Amino acid sequence: MIDTPRAKACRKYYEKNKVSLLIRNKEYREIPENKQAIKKQRNQKFKCECGGKFTQTHRLRHTKSNKHQNWVKSLSN
Ligand SMILES: [Zn+2]
């Protein structure tokens, strides 16, 4: 490996910023507002055409529910 002054400077920059970058990431995840924004997005409710509601995380579970399945059946009749 050729250790040019440029490569040396680049590595120095990375080493210097590595720690602060890691801290910044950790801080971001630990800020309550950010946690809430993630939670809020996860709990966002969607209206289904069957008349039901579901959240992003329970979308699949909803499509398997009786309410939704009955609606699907009523469409094919
Ligand atoms: Zn539905």
Q: Cα of 39 to ligand 1 centre, how many Å? A: 22
Q: Ligand 1 mean position to 64 CA, how many Å?
A: 8
pTM of this prediction?
A: 0.51
Domain boundaries, the chain: 5-76
Ligand 1 center to 27 CA (angstroms): 39
User: Taking the chain (77 residues) in consecutive chunks of 10 residues, what is each chunk's mean pLDDT?
Assistant: 82 82 76 85 92 93 97 91
**Start-to-end CA span in the chain (Å):** 72
Q: How far is the CA of 56 from the centre of ligand 1 (A)?
A: 13
